[in-house]
Structures are given as C-alpha cells and as structure tokens.
C-alpha cells in the first residue's frame, strides 16, 4: 500500500549536504512535513533553511512525470517507457558498433545512494563495457581524497565522529564556510576558538577568534608559512613524528624557506597573524585542522591539502583521541559516491581498476571475467571536454547531475553536450542539462525510494521511502535494469530492489579499503551506528562494531605510519594582470545548493537568494564604475558571466565572489578555466583572473 494517506511517519535523512541530518517526514503528497530528529548526534534537533524546505521539491510544479523524446522538429515530447528505453538501447548499440565501447560515457552524481552508485559503475563496465565513467564529486572532494590517501593510506572525509569536535579547544578551518554550507555543524564548533582561512569574511569567519584572509590561490603558501613557524618555535611533536610518521626531514627542509614575512608577501596575511594561529594550535590540548573546497578546488589542491596535513602531522594531531585532521565532504553522498565505483579509476570498496587482485575480486562478484573489465577512464572535466569529438564519446548518460551549470568552462561544456549523437538524462526535474537531452527519463526522488548513503564521518545511513513515486516515474535502479536487459544482460545481474543491491555491494567491498561487508539493512534498521570499515567477521554481519575513529593505533599504510609530503607553492593558472586585474572566486550561499536544480524550485529559498550576485568591495566598485544593485559582467579569458553587484567590505579589495548555483548568463563557471590538478584532476574553480564592468560595457 502507498505510504500516502496512512498517517505514518518515516525516519530518513536530508537530501542535501554530507551532514545527512536525520529527519522525520509525515503527511501526504503535496503536504509533506519535515521535522528534525532530536536524538541524531549530528544535527541534534536542528536543520538549515534548505532542510526545513526540502519537501517542497517533491511537489515541484514542473516535476518530470513521463519520458521525453526529442522529435524530428527538435522538440522534446512525451513518450512511453518502452519507446524511450528501446530508442536509447538501440542507439547505444549502434554507437558502440560503429565507434567502440568507449564511445559511450556515463556521468554520475554525489547525491545518488550507494546502491545507485554501485549499480551505475557496474552498468558502465559490464553492460556497456566502457571505461568512460566519472561523476560530479570530482569537482568536490578529489583533491582531499588524493592527499588523504597518500598521507594516511585511506580516504574518509572525517576519520572521527562529528561529535569529537565538541571538545576541541582550537579548530582551524581552511577554505570552509559551514555557517552557510552546513549550518548544523556549527553546533559542534561553538566551544572552540576558530581560526578561519578564507579570502572573504564569511559568516563563519565572523565567528572566528582569528581570521586569516589570504589572496585566492595562496593557501598553500600560507600552510607552508604555518609549518615553518611550528618548526622554528619548537611546537613540533617530535615524539609523535618519530613514532608514527615518515618523511618529515624533507618537509622540514622545504618549509624553512617559507619564513613568515615571505608568506605574508605572497598571501597578504600579516606575519603576526600567522604566528598567532600556530601558537593557538600548538598550545591547544585538543585541536583539529579541517579543509574545505576553498583550499581544495585549485590546480594545486591536492598539494594544498597535503600541506595542511603536514602541519597536522607535525603537531601530532591525526590519529590522536580528541584531535585530528579531516576534510568536510560536500554532497549528500559525496563519501559513498567516491567509494562504490562511479569514479573513473575505482571499483567498489575503493578498490583500484589498476590492481589485478581488486579487479579479480569484483569480477567474481559480478560473475564476469576480470579481463573484460575496462581500465581507468577520463576524469570528469576531461570526459566532458571530449564529448562529441573525434576521439571522444558520442553518447552520454547522466544520472544525478546537472553539469551545464557547475562544470568549469561552462559554455564550452554546453557546446560539447550539444555535439553528442545521443545525450540521455535521468532526473526528476527538467534541469539545464536535461533541456539538451535527446531522451529524458523521469526518476524517483529521495523521499520516494529507499537506500543508503554515507555521511562525511563515514557513517552509513538508511534512507527510507515516505511516498511512492508518481505514476509514470521509475527509480534509477529500474532504469539501469531495463537498459541492461535490452543490451543483452541477464535480468538477475542488475537487481532493482535496494536491499538486494546492498547485499551484493557488501560482497564487492569486502576486504577493500572501504569495507561495508559487516553492514546490513537489519543492523542499520536496528539503530546501530556503523562507520566503515566494518568487515564481516567469522560470525557474519553481526560482529564488527564499525570504526568511528580511524588511525588511533596505526595508519592504513602497510607499515602503519603516515606520510609527510614535500610540496611547494606555485601560482594559479591565471593571475591578475592589466587586462584581468582582479581575482574571481566562486562558492555557495546558504539558501541554494549545488547547481540549484532543486533549490531554485523552492519559493522560500528563491525569495532568500533569487539571483546571482557579484560581491565586490566598495573601493573596487568605484574604481571600475560599478553601482550597488546594478548588473555587471564578470569576464575572464574563458568567458563572461552576468550578476548583480552587491557592495560589501567582507571581501578583499582585489577579489570578487560569485555563487555558482544559477543558470544561463549568471553561471559563475562561465569564467572559470580548465586548469586541472595533476594528481586529483580537480579543476581550478576558486581562482580566475577577471575584469568586472557594468553590464553592456566593454572593459
């Protein structure tokens, strides 16, 4: 029986950020109410503005309710499911026959459940035989993942529960603004003295004991300057360094070149403030260093995170009770999304496509020959950049993403999507990417299906359905199953029930770095708090308690030691000059989320943040003839966006800020470039050289 009208309540989790606040849904379709769960330790009865209004998306007036197929007249028109799926499968077969398996690509999302992520990766590599799969989490956590894996042997955003932050004396936040991006987290930070590293005086920085305001693109130099001071002021925990790490001597030698006055010259942060920050961290009994997108979304993002890890290791923080290092995962299932197989180089359980043992294990679970599994494919931007080209994919299937808005060099990415022979989008609203598709498939939303997600602290959580999907709407698992069968796969290879998928996922992840094999729906439904790794012992799934705190005894490298990484500062790909005299940086605002495809359909959120703005210092606005409330164009060597001027003294005079949630000419990523981090393949979202002029005028 449908959940509607039964009067029951459903315990689930918010569809937005990686805090995954626990909520309770009640009411019928069109009148669903939400309240926070008082006993969940992460949100403790709190929600942000987005969480309180999340049910509104369930009744979006333009909700997709039937498949759409582009006709000979160029317009999308309603079609039946069999017609749409037969068309997609037939075209996929034709393209693969003509151009090879890698001519078909898949693009996933960090908001998909673990079951969907797992099935999507399996579908790409088994049903399609393609290596060309990546996801929008590449634009979010890839730099942190690369640096953390290299340092600790494992990538988990927070290797400790969020509640450990409650007892901290000092917390350094590098490029993170949780007061706007994940407000309930601030409840866990209120007892600590905050040191905030951000070019803007954000709502988080306003609450800080110390705000370090570097020029965009100089966070790495700042971290090197902080480590220099930790060394020269005798704050290094040498006993910890000797017992639990390797490689410190090379890092110490490199950081000695970054005396505080040199760091000040590069970053603009006074040497006295650098000294104060290091002394706060070094003098604390319990301290944490946390990084966010501001430090990570650079062409040197993985090196920047590594530099902050170096500082944390030198101070003896990671793997110590009450202290630590972590990265704040952004998307709702950003953690599980990069663990379960939709990343270009990974198999489920954080297994590697290049490792023969990993390939053999997963292939056995899937019932295929390991030799048939393709190798690593292109990263997200490189995949989008290659679409429709002579050597690139000719077809793209998009699940849970809207790359037209958040991808770097957005106008170019739009052109590449338009060049495809077959773009297919599965979504529940007509996103900007769906508008370019030849086939649009309507799928269920978060409150209409069950599954699991993994929060930023590595805790696996149950989402539960409160409503049944509207007539004509299918789940992503049903769509992938139907396509796989049409492509010649046996029906049993692609289950449609999330519990069945999760049971297979457990086996595929067993023994991997992200081991879920000891986790089950039964344990989660019983209320157990299970953080991976949680291996299945000899007693089956009821034995292992999970691992809320990693690294207390050893790190995940074979010798149990963490690795220092010798890194050095280098400038961003674009620096201000005579033509483009300002730094342009992008980010989020409280009332909107990601590409805005969901939140821009919620009236309360639109009222709070109705359009894109360009935040600019009043002195800078006078210099360039800009007036508060007037439209301006923000241009770089890559393109131009349009936004309304908002005068503020919270931003540096050499910097402008534009949120990236808005479509069309307001897309901030029209002016971001395509420089990539050589290790993580993260694009450089956080710094562009730009000019700003009144709309309609040339610079």
**Read out DSSP for 96-124?**
HHHH-GGGEEEEE-TTS-HHHHHHHHHII
What one-character-per-residue DSSP string does 441-475 give?
EEB--GGGS-EEEE-TTSBEEEE--SSPPPTT-B-
Torsion angle of C-alpha atoms 534, 536, 538, 541, degrees rounded to 10: 100
Positive or negative, the Cα torsion across 357, 362, 367, 371? Answer: negative
Looking at residue 102, what is its pLDDT?
98
Q: Are 180 and 203 in contact (CB under 8 A)?
A: yes
Q: Does residue 540 surpass a pLDDT of 90? A: no
**Bridging pattern class, strands 33-36 and 451-454:** unpaired
582-694: CATH topology is Barwin-like endoglucanases (2.40.40)
Where does 233-292 have alpha helices with state H? 238-244, 248-255, 260-267, 271-283
d(CA 90, CA 350) in angstroms, rounded, equals 33
d(CA 178, CA 656) in angstroms, rounded, equals 20
**Bridging pattern class, strands 395-399 and 422-427:** parallel
Looking at residue 186, what is its pLDDT?
97
Q: Does residue 560 surpass a pLDDT of 70? A: yes
Radius of gyration of the chain (CA): 24
d(CA 81, CA 346) in angstroms, rounded, equals 32
Q: Does residue 1 surpass a pLDDT of 50? A: no
Q: Which two tokens stand for residue 633?
A: 């164009």
Instruction: Provide the pLDDT confidence category of residue 3 given band limits of 50, 70 and 90.
Output: very low
d(CA 116, CA 122) in angstroms, rounded, equals 10
Distance from chain centroid for Cα 282: 31
Q: Does residue 659 surpass a pLDDT of 80? A: yes
Give CATH 3.40.50.740 domain extents, the chain. 68-136+333-525
Name the maximum alpha-carbon separation found in the chain.
73
d(CA 195, CA 90) in angstroms, rounded, equals 56
H/E stretch holding 76: strand 76-78
CA angle (226, 228, 229) in 5-degree steps = 65
In three state form, how does the secondary structure of 473-510 look? CECHHHHHHHHHHHCCCCHHHCCCCHHHHHHHHHHHHC
Q: Kindly report the number of other CB atoms within 10 A of residue 224's CB atom.
A: 28
Q: Does residue 420 surpass a pLDDT of 50? A: yes
Q: For residue 223, which phi and psi values (nearest 5 degrees)?
A: -65, -40
- Mean pLDDT, the chain, rounded, equals 96
Looking at residue 543, what is its pLDDT?
80
Give CATH 3.30.200.210 domain extents, the chain. 10-59
d(CA 697, CA 580) in angstroms, rounded, equals 15
* CATH code reported for the domain at 10-59: 3.30.200.210
Q: Are 257 and 225 in contact (CB under 8 A)?
A: no
Q: Are 181 and 17 in contact (CB under 8 A)?
A: yes
Instruction: Tell me the sheet residues that pair with 327.
Output: 291
Q: pLDDT tens digits, residue range 350-392? A: 999 999 999 999 999 999 999 999 999 999 999 999 999 999 9
Per DSSP, the chain holds a count of helices (H) and strands (E) of: 22, 27
d(CA 92, CA 33) in angstroms, rounded, equals 42
Percentages of the chain per state (helix, strand, coil), in multiples of 5: 35, 20, 45
Q: At what angle do helices 271-283 and 219-232 cross, to 10 degrees?
A: 60
Distance from chain centroid for Cα 459: 16
Which one-letter DSSP state was computed for residue 200? Answer: B
Q: Are 189 and 171 in contact (CB under 8 A)?
A: yes
H/E stretch holding 48: none
Q: Does residue 241 surpass a pLDDT of 50? A: yes
**Between 585 and 329, whose confidence is greater?**
585
**Span 55-83, mean pLDDT?**
97
Q: pLDDT tens digits, residue range 99-121? A: 999 999 999 999 999 999 999 99
Looking at residue 5, what is its pLDDT?
46
Looking at residue 330, what is its pLDDT?
86
Between 82-96, 112-126, 448-462, 684-698, the lowest mean confidence (pLDDT) is in 684-698
Q: Are 197 and 219 in contact (CB under 8 A)?
A: yes
Looking at residue 542, what is its pLDDT?
60
Q: Which of 692, 590, 594 is nearest to 646 (CA)?
A: 692
CATH architecture of residue range(s) 68-136+333-525: 3-Layer(aba) Sandwich (3.40)
Give CATH 3.40.228.10 domain extents, the chain. 142-328
Query: Using CB atoms within 10 A of its CB, is residue 285 exposed (0-12), middle (13-18) or buried (19+)?
Result: exposed
Instruction: Provide the pLDDT confidence category of residue 538 given band limits of 50, 70 and 90.
Output: low
Is 3.40.228.10 the CATH number for 142-328?
yes
Q: Which of 304, 297, 302 is nearest to 140 (CA)?
A: 297
Indicate the pTM of the whole model.
0.96
Q: pLDDT tens digits, residue range 500-535? A: 999 999 999 999 999 999 999 999 999 999 999 999
Positive or negative, the Cα torsion across 189, 195, 197, 200? Answer: positive
């Amino acid at each position: 029986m449908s959940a509607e009208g039964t009067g029951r309540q459903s315990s689930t989790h918010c569809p937005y950020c990686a805090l995954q606040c626990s909520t309770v849904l009640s009411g019928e379709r069109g009148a669903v109410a939400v309240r926070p769960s008082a006993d969940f330790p992460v949100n403790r009865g709190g929600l942000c503005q987005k969480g309180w209004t999340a049910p509104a998306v369930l009744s979006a007036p333009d909700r997709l309710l039937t498949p759409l197929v582009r006709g000979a007249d160029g317009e999308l028109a309603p079609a039946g499911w069999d017609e749409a799926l037969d068309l997609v499968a037939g075209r996929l077969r034709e393209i693969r026959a003509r151009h090879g398996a890698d001519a078909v690509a898949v693009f996933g999302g960090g908001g998909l459940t673990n079951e969907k992520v797992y099935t999507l990766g399996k579908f790409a590599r088994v049903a399609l035989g393609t290596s060309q799969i990546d996801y929008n989490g590449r634009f979010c956590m890839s730099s942190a993942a690369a640096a953390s894996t290299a340092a600790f042997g494992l990538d988990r955003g927070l290797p400790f529960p969020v509640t450990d932050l409650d007892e901290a004396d000092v917390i350094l936040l590098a490029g993170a603004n949780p007061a706007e991006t994940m407000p309930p987290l601030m409840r866990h930070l209120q007892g600590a003295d905050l040191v905030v590293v951000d070019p803007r005086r954000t709502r988080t920085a306003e609450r800080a004991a110390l705000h370090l305001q570097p020029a965009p693109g100089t966070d790495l130099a700042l971290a090197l300057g902080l480590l220099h001071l930790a060394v020269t002021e005798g704050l290094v925990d040498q006993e910890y360094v000797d017992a639990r790490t390797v490689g410190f001597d090379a890092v110490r030698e490199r950081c000695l070149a970054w005396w505080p006055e040199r760091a000040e010259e590069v970053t603009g942060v006074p040497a006295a403030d650098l000294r104060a920050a290091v002394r706060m961290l070094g003098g604390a009994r319990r301290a944490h260093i946390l990084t966010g997108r501001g430090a990570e979304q650079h062409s040197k993002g993985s090196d920047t995170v590594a530099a902050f890890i170096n500082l944390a290791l030198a101070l003896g923080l990671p793997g110590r009770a009450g202290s630590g290092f972590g990265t704040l995962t952004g998307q709702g299932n950003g953690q599980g999304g990069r663990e379960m197989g939709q990343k270009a180089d990974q198999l489920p359980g954080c297994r590697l496509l290049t490792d023969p043992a990993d390939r053999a294990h997963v292939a056995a679970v899937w019932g295929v020959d390991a030799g048939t599994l393709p190798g690593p494919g292109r990263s997200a931007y490189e995949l989008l950049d290659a679409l429709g080209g002579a050597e690139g994919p000719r077809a793209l299937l998009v699940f849970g993403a809207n790359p037209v808005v958040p991808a770097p060099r957005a106008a170019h990415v739009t052109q590449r999507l338009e060049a495809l022979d077959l773009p297919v989008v599965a979504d529940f609203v007509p996103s900007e990417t769906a508008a370019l598709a030849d086939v649009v498939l309507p799928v269920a939303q978060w409150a209409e299906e069950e599954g699991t997600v993994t929060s930023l602290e590595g805790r696996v959580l149950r989402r539960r359905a409160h409503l049944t999907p509207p007539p004509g709407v299918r789940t992503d698992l049903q769509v992938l199953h139907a396509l796989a069968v049409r492509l010649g796969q046996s029906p049993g290879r692609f289950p449609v029930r999330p519990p069945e998928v999760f049971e297979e996922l457990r086996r595929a992840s067993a023994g991997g770095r992200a081991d879920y094999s000891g986790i089950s729906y039964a344990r989660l439904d019983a209320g157990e708090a299970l953080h991976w790794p949680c291996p299945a012992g000899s007693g089956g799934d009821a034995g292992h308690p999970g691992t809320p705190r990693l690294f207390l005894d050893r790190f995940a490298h074979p010798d149990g030691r963490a690795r220092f990484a010798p890194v050095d500062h280098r400038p961003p790909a674009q620096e201000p000059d005579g033509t483009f005299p300002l730094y342009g940086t992008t980010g989020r605002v409280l009332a909107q989320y990601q590409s805005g495809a969901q939140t821009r359909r919620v009236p309360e959120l639109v009222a709070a943040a109705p359009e894109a703005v360009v935040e600019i210092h009043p002195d800078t606005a006078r210099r360039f003839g800009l007036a508060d409330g007037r439209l301006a164009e923000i241009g770089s060597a890559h393109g131009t966006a349009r936004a309304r001027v908002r005068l503020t003294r919270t931003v540096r005079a050499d910097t402008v800020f534009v949120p990236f949630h808005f479509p069309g000419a307001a897309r901030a990523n029209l002016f971001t470039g395509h420089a990539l981090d050589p290790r993580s393949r993260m694009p450089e979202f956080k710094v562009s050289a730009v000019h700003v002029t009144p709309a309609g005028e040339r610079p």
